[in-house]
Chain A
Amino acid sequence: MTAPIPTSKRKYDLNFARWVRDNVAGGDKMNMCMQCGTCSGSCPIGTEMEDGPRKLFMMIRAGMKEEVLSSNSMWECTSCYRCVVRCPRGVPVTYLMQGLAALAAKEGYAPKVENNYFSKFFWMSASKLGKTDERLVPTAYYFSFGFVEGIKRSLANLKIALNMFKAGRMHIGMPHKIRDTKGLQAILAKAREIEDRS
């Protein structure tokens, strides 16, 4: 069983560092980081991140749970793996980013971040249909900001949608799905079971 995340109200809580080390994927390797900054410097999204991987790791070491979990950095990560390839100390930066995002979502920090909505609908479509639907995911995402905002965002992307129709990348009618959705559900159930086991 995964240990419960420490709930202390302290800004700096060493137990958080310990928890990340023991519970987040790649957390045990985070120690190898020597703060060279190669990851943050290589990251194509680096400028969009509030902190960047290097600083994020430093904050974890200092036990800054609040700041870490409410950071946008791990949500901006596109999993391009540039940091992993370049890190001189073999830190699996991308896994850590994903692990931290999952942790933040679980702890209820994530909704503050826009990307989380997108991830949510992306996952909804992917897990139900076995595919991401080009109409469903963006529409649900746009309208999650409210009705007026939804219309606005949809209209702003209308031209792209029409072009996609012409190119046969979007269609009318029921969303496509994979043949064996039952099998997919079984796989996901098994995955969840394995995750809970550890």
Chain B
Amino acid sequence: MSEETFEHKPGAYLCGGCGIKDALDMDALEQAVSGGMMVSNVKQSDSFCSGEGYETIKKDIESGEVNQAIIAGCSPRVMVQEFNALGGQIFRANLREQVIWQQPANHEDTQALATDNLRMATTQARKAEPPQAHWDGVTSLKLLVVGGGITGLKAAREASKTGAEVVIVEKTDKLGGWAAKWSKFIPETAPYREPQDNPVPALIKEVEEDDNITVMFNTIVERTEGGPGEFSCRLQTGSDTKWDVFGAVVLATGWRPYESEAQEKFGIGKTDGVITDIEMEEKLAAGELDGVKNIVFIIPGDTDRMVYSSGVSDKVAIKQAMQMVENDSDVMAYIIHEHFRSHGTAEEFYRSAQEKGIIFQRGEVKKIDSDRTVTVDDELLEQEIPMSGIDLVVISTGMVPNSTNIDLEPSEKNPETLCDDINPKAPIFTVNGEEVEDPDADIKSCREKAGEEPPLPGGPLLNLQYRQGPHVPILANGFADSHYICFPYETRRTGIYTAGPVRRAMTATEAMDDAMGATLKAIQAMREANEAKAVHPRAGDLSFPEFGLNICTKCRRCTVECPFGAIDEDPETDYPMINPTRCRRCGTCMGACPVSTISFKNYNPQQVSDMVSAGTEDCPPDKPRILVLACENDAYPAMDMAGIARREANPYMRVIPVRCLGSVTLLWVKTALEKGYDGIMLLGCKSGDDYQCHFVKGSGLAQERMGKVGETLQSMMMEEERVQVNEIAIADSERVTEILNTFGKQIEEIGLNPFKGF
């Protein structure tokens, strides 16, 4: 960290293009910038994104006259690469999408909004310094793949193709896992109509011949320390252990068969000729099916099982039925289902099965007699149909994720994290007389709230030495948590990517796609770590949370709330201590800190607080002001899109994009109320088990924290409705305008902030 003081040399560039100069008084803006905002270097152009205008900024930066370019024009979300290529620190005032495209031209309120946006941007620059790399030196670029099944094999091969060194750790003494046993695969290529050959043997051969890949059999990961670029893993083979350092981890531990009492009702394992689809695969591979003429596949509709089959068993049934009919055209194959799911290209597979004479019948199987007579309650005929003369009954099972190692004893340390709820409730407890959250009680209480799910069997896969516990977080139904709605391989442990059936039930074919995706992510993580940069979603970011320990109260909020387990307590001093490469730069710790002592060089509590003040500096006492703190990932782009669609918006909003709602500190809310804002709206991503929050827990934590603002408001004799939180998806551009405009009306009805003008 260099301690030299940074000299701010701002330059403001007011762009009049895209119709901006027709809707705003540019000279008045220039006056405001050089006057009240105290930026002496102000320039205007009809286009700063190209040609002469662009060259002007470039010259200013290259000559050293300017090191912070404040560009007022289009949204910070467009022309990003162009402006970043200029070299200096870039700040943007959004005059296009969120001003002239949403407001009437040449109106005093429109002009005021534009001026405030510029003032907020200049304030932002004044309180920002260029971020610097926080570590140097080469970190590991070796990939650890846990699991040598089809997912692991594919992951290793893909990584090797990029030149990376790979170690596969396999629990058993064989490669290939379950998929190696299948005789045929569900089709992965067009026209998706015929079962395909099993690619596993060829894949195993490729891996064996690959010099970049080392396979360790009978091995587990006994302990993992560090973070991306520097994972130290103790690998245990029998009684031997060995330390190795890895850049990233792909977790491909696969699945085990689903077993339930419900299966007993069908007589699996008891009635001769009633088998599971997994046993059927083995029979097909061994060719033990001569003499089977009438075969029934049953896909039971119990929701318990369906969680673990998720459209997989349906495709498996099609494939197996097809293999039977292909082998012997005399075979009559029935597929009995309650809910058939053949999504995507499997629709073609389903059609092809029908054409081959496979009969699909909808109904619930009531019982299977000892002579294999299957009684189906046919919903369409409204009668129970006994199907007799069946030679073989095949019953669909499911894939239970190996998100723990069931061969191990459950871990003693923090077993609660197994059922880690996505939004821990934070009860109150006191340290040094101050009320803080109990870091150990919160997860327990949330589990109680969730109805006390029993912890899963087995021990941790990687045995992570993280404050948040040894497991890669596991969410609903025992699946390893991944950001499955938007970013499927991202977990809450930076640099560790889940792939394959450990994160959701999927076919072997899908698992290979998954392996490719996760591997690319892992490689990016290793490389970014090597350059001290963040990974998704702030890929390439060099900024970094710094802790002002002089005023830190050791409250542990930051360590508890960091969604990525990046902060530990220093074992000696108990102060927060960061594991730099795990950090995603979300700022959730910053939002958590009650004394606002966590900051980034270019994003910090005081800076945004000053921006909040700047947004209402020139506000006449009779005009409302609404502060919108919008997540830069989804909500802010949705608002931009509302501009593109020219939806008229409330002109009294002052919008500040934030890295994540999790980074919003109560200081900003307090400042806003004191500075006379009449309402505050926080816009973030979906929280909860089906979260879309890019930083997993940030949005949920923000809602949790804002829940407490009500009391503050009451103590200030203000209405609770003045502060609201809403969840916005990136496509919600219509909704976001509606929400904000409704909020604006609501605030008008409540009346202006009594503190206005003080």
Are A31's CB and B378's CB within 8 A? no
Inter-chain contacts of B332 with A (CB < 8 A): 14, 17-18
From residue A128, how far is it (CB to closest CB) to chain B in Å?
A: 40
Are A14's CB and B381's CB within 8 A? no
From residue A17, how far is it (CB to closest CB) to chain B in Å?
A: 7
A150 to B381, CA, bound (A): 39
Inter-chain contacts of B378 with A (CB < 8 A): 58, 62
Are A58's CB and B357's CB within 8 A? no
Query: B86 at interface (Cβ–Cβ under 8 A)?
Result: no
Task: Give A54's nearest chain B residue, CB to CB.
Answer: B380
From residue A21, how far is it (CB to closest CB) to chain B in Å?
A: 6
Are A61's CB and B354's CB within 8 A? no
Are B381's CB and A32's CB within 8 A? no
Within 8 A of B (CB), among A21-69: 21, 28, 31-32, 34-35, 55, 58-59, 61-63
- The secondary structure that dominates the A interface is helix
Identify the stretch in B231-239, B385-393, B621-629, B716-724 within 8 Å (CB) of chain A at 4 or more residues: B385-393
Inter-chain contacts of B385 with A (CB < 8 A): 12, 62-63
From residue B391, how far is it (CB to closest CB) to chain A in Å?
A: 11
Task: Give A35's nearest chain B residue, CB to CB.
Answer: B380
Query: Residue A12 contacts which of B351, B354, B358, B386 (CB distance < 8 angstroms)?
Result: B386
Query: B23 at interface (Cβ–Cβ under 8 A)?
Result: no
Are B357's CB and A61's CB within 8 A? no
Task: Give B386's nearest chain A residue, CB to CB.
Answer: A12
For the side of the interface on A, what is the size category?
Answer: 10 to 19
Query: A139 at interface (Cβ–Cβ under 8 A)?
Result: no
A31 to B334, CA, bound (A): 11
Inter-chain contacts of A31 with B (CB < 8 A): 354-355, 357-359
From residue B386, how far is it (CB to closest CB) to chain A in Å?
A: 6
Binding site for A on B (CB under 8 A): 294, 332, 334, 351, 354-355, 357-362, 378, 380-381, 385-390
Given known contacts A14-B387, A34-B360, what 11 new A-B pairs fall within 8 Å (CB)? Answer: A12-B385, A14-B389, A14-B390, A17-B359, A21-B357, A31-B354, A32-B355, A35-B362, A55-B380, A62-B378, A63-B387
Query: Residue B359 contacts which of A55, A59, A61 (CB distance < 8 angstroms)?
Result: A61
Are B354's CB and A32's CB within 8 A? yes
Inter-chain contacts of A197 with B (CB < 8 A): none
A17-B332, A18-B332, A55-B380 known; A61 vs B361 contact (CB < 8 Å): yes
A58 to B389, CA, bound (A): 19
Inter-chain contacts of A28 with B (CB < 8 A): 357
Task: Give A18's nearest chain B residue, CB to CB.
Answer: B332
Residue pairs across A and B with CB atoms within 8 Å: the count is 45
Inter-chain contacts of B390 with A (CB < 8 A): 14
A10-B388, A14-B294 known; A55 vs B358 contact (CB < 8 Å): no
Are A58's CB and B380's CB within 8 A? yes
Are A14's CB and B388's CB within 8 A? yes
From residue B160, how far is it (CB to closest CB) to chain A in Å?
A: 45
From residue A59, how far is it (CB to closest CB) to chain B in Å?
A: 7
From residue B383, how far is it (CB to closest CB) to chain A in Å?
A: 8
Are A62's CB and B381's CB within 8 A? yes
A62 to B360, CA, bound (A): 11
A58 to B358, CA, bound (A): 14
A55 to B382, CA, bound (A): 11
Task: Give B380's nearest chain A residue, CB to CB.
Answer: A58
From residue A34, how far is it (CB to closest CB) to chain B in Å?
A: 8
Task: Give A60's nearest chain B residue, CB to CB.
Answer: B359
Inter-chain contacts of A55 with B (CB < 8 A): 380-381
Task: Give A61's nearest chain B residue, CB to CB.
Answer: B359
Are A58's CB and B381's CB within 8 A? yes
From residue A55, how far is it (CB to closest CB) to chain B in Å?
A: 7
A18 to B334, CA, bound (A): 11
Inter-chain contacts of B362 with A (CB < 8 A): 35
From residue B378, how far is it (CB to closest CB) to chain A in Å?
A: 6
From residue A67, how far is it (CB to closest CB) to chain B in Å?
A: 10
Inter-chain contacts of A98 with B (CB < 8 A): none
A25 to B216, CA, bound (A): 60
Inter-chain contacts of A89 with B (CB < 8 A): 354
From residue A58, how far is it (CB to closest CB) to chain B in Å?
A: 5
From residue B362, how far is it (CB to closest CB) to chain A in Å?
A: 7
A35 to B360, CA, bound (A): 10
From residue B211, how far is it (CB to closest CB) to chain A in Å?
A: 51
Inter-chain contacts of B360 with A (CB < 8 A): 34
Query: A15 at interface (Cβ–Cβ under 8 A)?
Result: yes
Interface centre among A17, A59, A62 (most CB of B within 10 A): A62
From residue B668, how far is it (CB to closest CB) to chain A in Å?
A: 56
A34 to B358, CA, bound (A): 12
From residue B367, how far is it (CB to closest CB) to chain A in Å?
A: 15
A12 to B332, CA, bound (A): 15
Inter-chain contacts of B381 with A (CB < 8 A): 55, 58-59, 62
Task: Give A67's nearest chain B residue, CB to CB.
Answer: B381
Task: Give A10's nearest chain B residue, CB to CB.
Answer: B388
A58 to B378, CA, bound (A): 9
Task: Give A32's nearest chain B residue, CB to CB.
Answer: B354
A35 to B354, CA, bound (A): 13
From residue B86, how far is it (CB to closest CB) to chain A in Å?
A: 57
10 inter-chain pairs at a CB distance below 8 angstroms, sorted by A residue, are A14-B389, A15-B389, A18-B332, A21-B357, A28-B357, A31-B357, A32-B355, A55-B380, A58-B380, A62-B385
